[in-house]
Amino acid sequence: MEIRIGDLAKRSGCEVVTIRYYEKEGLLPKPARSGGNFRLYGDVHIERLQFIRHCRSLDMTLGEIRTLLGLRDNPTQDCGEVNALLDDHIQLVEVRVAALLQLKQHLLALREKCSGARPVDACGILQGLSKRSRPTGEASFAAARTSRGSSTSQI
């Protein structure tokens, strides 16, 4: 089966620009070309794109996905590296969950500063947000969020 990039996008729920990006990054193999120079994709592309999208849904970085694809392409290797990668990813998720819980506590504390029914200039939430001090959770959440590199939800 050979399909064009638009059909691949429809079948996978992935944007055309994202498919091209994955090709450029080496995550998808280069497709064949038609006589009219259109990209032609096959079952291997569909399956690999589904694998990539599943990894992205688990918030894995492109680097992690690249590593997993490399390991998957060498099926005789020991899967210890796969386990180690997933263990590291789980640990990162745990750090982010802890940071989010701290962030929630900060937001709840802010919410308690205002009972409503008062002028905005007397709003305890806005006054609390104007203070320069940052709670520990906010700093660690920001660090956990940026330490993963640039990845967008669509890519």
Rg of the Cα atoms in the chain: 22
The predicted-structure confidence for 13-30, as pLDDT tens digits, reads as follows 999 999 999 999 999 999
Bridge partners (DSSP) of residue 39 are 33
Which of 72, 107, 128 is the C-terminal boundary of a domain?
Answer: 72
Same structural domain, 99 and 131:
yes
The per-residue DSSP string of 71-109 comes to: HHTSTTS-THHHHHHHHHHHHHHHHHHHHHHHHHHHHHH
Look at residue 41 and tell me if it is in a domain.
yes
Q: Positive or negative, the Cα torsion across 5, 10, 14, 17?
A: positive
Residue 13's domain is classified under what CATH number? Answer: 1.10.1660.10
Look at residue 153 and tell me if it is in a domain.
no
* Number of domains forming the structure of the chain: 2
Which pLDDT score is estimated for 18?
96
Look at residue 152 and tell me if it is in a domain.
no
| pLDDT reading at 152 higher than 50 | no
Look at residue 9 and tell me if it is in a domain.
yes
Integer Cα distance of 42 and 3 in angstroms: 7
Overall residue count recorded for the chain in this entry:
155
Which of 36, 52, 72 is the C-terminal boundary of a domain?
Answer: 72
| pLDDT reading at 95 higher than 50 | yes
Question: Which residue's entry shows tokens 């962030």?
Answer: 103
Domain that holds residue 129: 80-146
Contact 56, 65 (CB under 8 A): yes
Residue 143: pLDDT band (50, 70, 90) is: low
